[in-house]
Amino acid sequence: MRAIIYVTDDDQNVCSALSRRLARKGHLVRSFHSGVSLLEALEYEIPDLLFLDLKMPEMDGLETLRRVRQTIPNTLVVMLTAYGSVEDAVEAMRMGAYDFLIKSVDFSTVEPALHRALEFLELKRQVEYTVMEKQRQFSWDHVIAVSPSMLTVIESLKQLARESPSLVYLHGEVGTGKEFLARILHYNSRPQPGPFVAIRCTEQHSSKLESQLLGYERGAFSGADQATAGMIEHADGGTLFLDEIEHLPISAQEILSEAIRTRTFSRMGGNDRIPINTRFIAASTISTDHGEQESRFHPELLSLFRTHQISIPPLRERQADIIPLAMKNMRTYGEEIGRPKLDMDASVPPLLVQYRFPGNIRELEALIKRAVLCSQGSVLTALDFYSQHAIDPNGQLPPNTIRLHFELGRYSLSEIQGLVIQEVLRLSDQNKEQAARYLHVSPQTLDEQIRALGITSQTTDPSCKPT
């Protein structure tokens, strides 16, 4: 990268020689012979990198460094001295210097320092650009909220963004956008948020979740060959998002609640308490007011959840948002395939609004994406939904209704529950993730029910006929 570099040294020969060397690398270089003249120049231009002599008359390098850091904190400062000492280096680094170099006749130490600084600047710019893009992607303007229930959710999120509590609990059905709203909360919080780290508590075996969350010290268990930071440490200064937290082992929930309460934790196999500045956002399909929560959550963690919890309504309860969401997704997918001017005619909104969307926003997005891919013209019509079998020719979205005909008193409640699950699996082509979305449970919960009820693909009772 081509950088703006300032060189400040009271020795004019040093200034000239170093400036020429840097200019030959293609950089824009300006030189100054005192801290005062440097500070005056900073009122008109901000350099990327500054080489600053430690020993100067009138205003020494450390005082100049202090004022530079107050004025332009993002500029990297490399201190130069012909008479270096450990004390000087420590003090300069403490005050925010990026590097500390001993002057040499041929400036041989400058080349590697310059290379490191420019690499750091490039990486820093990439990170800043990524954060800006994420903040744009997850700005409040990108949240569709027309319905009263969703407007209430957004107001609650904005208040939490201002307050930045250490724990927020989001609950809602599968597909309601819990992770999206967690990212909205993260990227709109102040002060500037750090990393957003997500962990899905169903993607790892329960025995691995604790080590993934907490990290571990060397020798903590078989295979722990070196100390490893966990998700909590990786999210320090930012947000750790725990999706489907009800599947986190109770023992890990207890440790997590202590970390939230004390703002410290220990790695597995370690005794040292590590301070953290991490916000936790937990998500689940279980409300804290639901009877099931008592068996799925540690009591202390459950108590913490109730302090800052937000209930995200299912799409069927926010009908005013369905068409704006559909339009947004239609334009997004249209742009992706080179058809940015797509529109939908008057036949489509009634079809969408009357559907219950058991998969919520996730299902709506998939429905619109398929319709966009099926469409031929510049306007989506009901025929584009007919062609993907999303709706039938009578203009009704298929409710995928299950009708079970059986003699009253023949089956127990658990047996009927098993038949319903089996039919949902059949309608989902044995896709358990899709079936779980229809049933508003997690895939792991569905697996537990299938095992508990002894459901197999051959368990249909011919006297109980689905239609």
In a domain, 392, yes or no: no
User: Looking at residue 48, what is its pLDDT?
Assistant: 94
Q: H or E segment at 257?
A: helix 250-262
User: Looking at residue 153, what is its pLDDT?
Assistant: 96
Query: Does 184 lie in the same domain as 75?
Result: no
240's tokens: 């750790």
Query: Does 290 lie in the same domain as 170?
Result: yes
Last residue in a domain, options 76, 102, 129: 129
Per the CB < 8 A criterion, the answer to whether 19 and 29 are in contact is: yes
Q: Strand 239-243 to strand 279-284: parallel, antiparallel, or no bridges (unpaired)?
A: parallel
In a domain, 137, yes or no: no
In a domain, 139, yes or no: no
Residue listed under structure tokens 């003090």: 91
User: Looking at residue 105, what is its pLDDT?
Assistant: 63
Query: Does 122 lie in the same domain as 61?
Result: yes
Per the CB < 8 A criterion, the answer to whether 232 and 215 are in contact is: yes
Beta bridge mates, 317: none
Query: Does 244 lie in the same domain as 264?
Result: yes
Last residue in a domain, options 386, 420, 444: 386
Q: H or E segment at 265?
A: strand 264-265
450's tokens: 């299938």
β strands within 103-227, DSSP E: 167-171, 196-200, 215-216
Per the CB < 8 A criterion, the answer to whether 242 and 280 are in contact is: yes
Query: Does 239 lie in the same domain as 186?
Result: yes
DSSP letter, residue 393: T
Query: Does 199 lie in the same domain as 70?
Result: no
User: Looking at residue 455, what is its pLDDT?
Assistant: 80
User: Looking at residue 461, what is its pLDDT?
Assistant: 47
User: Looking at residue 401, what is its pLDDT?
Assistant: 58
Q: What is the pTM of this model?
A: 0.68
Query: Does 178 lie in the same domain as 121?
Result: no
Query: Does 248 lie in the same domain as 103?
Result: no
pLDDT in tens, the chain (467 residues): 789 999 999 888 889 999 999 999 899 999 999 999 999 999 999 999 999 998 888 898 899 999 999 999 999 999 988 776 778 888 888 999 999 888 876 778 888 989 999 999 898 888 777 777 887 888 999 899 999 999 999 999 999 999 989 999 999 998 999 999 999 999 998 876 789 999 988 866 666 888 889 888 988 888 888 989 989 999 999 999 999 998 888 888 999 999 999 999 999 888 899 999 999 999 999 888 766 666 788 899 999 999 999 999 999 999 999 999 999 999 999 999 898 889 999 988 988 888 888 889 998 998 898 888 888 888 998 877 765 555 544 444 455 556 565 556 666 777 778 888 888 887 787 888 888 888 888 888 888 888 887 787 544 444 444 44
> HSE on the CB side for 195, CA within 13 Å?
11
User: Looking at residue 435, what is its pLDDT?
Assistant: 86
Instruction: CATH number of the domain at 440, please.
Output: 1.10.10.60
Instruction: CATH number of the domain at 84, please.
Output: 3.40.50.2300
Instruction: CATH number of the domain at 208, please.
Output: 3.40.50.300
In a domain, 229, yes or no: yes
Query: Does 160 lie in the same domain as 113?
Result: no
Angle between helices 61-71 and 86-94 in degrees, nearest 10: 20
Query: Does 170 lie in the same domain as 233?
Result: yes
Query: Does 232 lie in the same domain as 221?
Result: yes
Residues in the chain: 467
Q: How far does Cα 418 stand from its chain's mean position?
A: 37
Angle between helices 413-427 and 443-453 in degrees, nearest 10: 130
**CA angle at 318 for the pair 290 and 420, rounded to the nearest 5°:** 55
In a domain, 178, yes or no: yes
Instruction: CATH number of the domain at 347, please.
Output: 1.10.8.60
- Amino acid identity of residue 22, one-letter, is L
Q: Is 253 helix (H, G, I), strand (E, B) or coil?
A: helix
User: Looking at residue 393, what is its pLDDT?
Assistant: 44
Last residue in a domain, options 98, 129, 160: 129
Domain count, the chain: 4
User: Looking at residue 410, what is its pLDDT?
Assistant: 64
Name the residue range of residue 76's domain. 4-129
Q: State the burial class of residue 408 (Cβ atoms within 10 Å of its Cβ: 0-12, 13-18, 19+).
A: exposed
Query: Does 200 lie in the same domain as 279?
Result: yes
In a domain, 141, yes or no: no
327's tokens: 């339009």
358's tokens: 């058991």
298's tokens: 């540690």
In a domain, 398, yes or no: no
In a domain, 348, yes or no: yes
* First vs last C-alpha separation in the chain: 67
